[in-house]
Structure 1
Amino acid sequence: MRAALRVRYGGPEAISFGNVPEPVPSRGEILVRVAATTVNRTDCAYRSGRPWINRVVCGWPRPRVQVLGSEYAGVVVGLGEGVEAFAVGDRVFGFVDGRPGAHAELVTVPVNGLVAPVPGNWELADAAPGMEGAHYAHACLRVTNIGPGDRALVHGATGAIGTALVQLLHAEGVQVTAVCDRLPPGRPDLLTELGAAHVVQLRDAAGRTSFGSGFDAVFDATGHFSFAAARPLLRPGGSYSSSDLGRGGQNILLATAGPMARALGRRQVLFPLPQGNAALARHLGQLMDRGAYRPVVDRTFDFDELREAYTYVDAGRKVGNVVVTMPAAGRNLG
């Protein structure tokens, strides 16, 4: 089968295309023919090997796994032993964090991981970006235990995690202030449409006071807004959560003091640990099915344009998600 490969860490130029043996599903796995995939922050980190912690996961001094890609949508074409939750012909979408392989014609997927049926009226290319950003966003929401009537600020609200977080918070009845560096041309109301009660563009902000204050939670969706910057915006006892480790891993270190800060009624850092299970995947699929969550798509590339897709994501200017369609998507797969 054809796949995107990298045998060394580096920029988009490190990606090559080649033929590799077709994967065979093990016990508890399904084999999916990929119709669409994405290029996301996770993929860029695995490709570049930065920050350094990714080389602990992916291999040192060179990658252990050559096939890139973590997010997908496609059709089940094979079943491993013991699989009963899916059947050949099912349309599925998901995220294979820690075991890339979705930038290929076929990928094996554990059924107890982040995989779910594609909602009935969704195209596969629209469902492909539904899992990566949303499962990180859900982890932030879950760790802060924020709920109906609370107020939250999302910094970096136009990224894949940010756009998902705005929608998931809105679905929970949270009042959201969305902060972004810019809104996409032609879509000035994007964040309001996603459920934000207030929108702040950084280029228009006179200062941090324009964000408001007294928030129950502040979420850093891009790794560019530290606890030190967020702290004045929080009410006493409020929580800060980030999708990033922070400079020098500070967000993990600060989170170790969370229980004491909470006991003293002080502002605290909570570090989200994403759950990669089928229950969460189905929950996100149900939100998509009822219209409470829809991943935002910035651009779509063909598989042969994968290097260009990585270059665009590396630039840090995407809004929502970047989708890549596979040649097989031209056939009648959904």
Structure 2
Amino acid sequence: MAGVLDSVNQRTQLVGQNRLELLLFRLRGRQMYGINVFKVKEVLQCPRLSSLPNSRPMVRGVAHIRGETIPIIDLGMSIRLPGIPKEEMATSFVIITEYNRKTQGFLVAGVDRIVNMNWEDILPPPKGAGKDVYLTAVTHFEDKLIEIIDVEKILSEVSPFEEDVTEDVRNRSSERVPGHLPVLVVDDSAVARRQIERCLTAIGMEVVTKNDGRQALDYLKEVTADGSRAVDHLCLIISDVEMPEMDGYTLVTKCKNEPAIKDVFIMLHTSLSGVFNKAMVQKVGADDFMAKFSPDELAERVMEIVDREQ
């Protein structure tokens, strides 16, 4: 097990190359789950926890780690499975992660290994899974189903943050001339799509949403099939980086290699706030990037881009 933990700590500094490295872990049963290594800061055995008054039941307490006070979230309870029993917590593990500019730990029963996957092998959850499913993707490894949890959905429920654009920003947006082309938003998380769409509609923008890079590229090819250009249909593309079937890096690369699409402005919008790879952004040709999720910052940035690109 020590080798797995050492490997995580060394490899979390690696980013890009159009692949996904998953840290595999278990909750209370035999089902295996995965989390992107790039979001993992550290893995350790569950430390001593201090209680956090008035917190949700799945927040098992806070840990004091390397000068930080970090909330520890029971990942099983967060997805409506049995949590880790108190008597087993000392032998359980905590995966310290950074999402959307915040650090938190996820309490899990066991950590298995790191596997290197191609994005093409990461698939959306089954269509019949329903709206309340806590999965953002699935894959297979050694004939086992690996479920990838929608962490943004969990965090929005455990620790809700402000999703609305402030009145000041909305007032400034109303002074702009209306009639801009729509924004294409590409994100595999339904929660993230809703947050971004809510932000953009608040400043008067129309929004088209797609669930992954492949869907987005198919849409772009479809609207330009008549000989028009993407900039005739869209003012901007905002894309997540981590998505099943085709990730954001690959989407940008393919868009920039298509004559009819290459001129449209593409901003990568990612929860990989701690280790986001600026060099990779430049390599694939993205025009901008931003860490999730501040509604005012996103609204301000979109208004600047749209006004500049007119």
Tell me the TM-score range normalised by the shorter chain: 0.3 to 0.5
TM-score normalized by the length of structure 2: 0.35
Q: Does 1 or 2 have the higher relative contact order (CA < 8 Å, sep 6+)?
A: 1
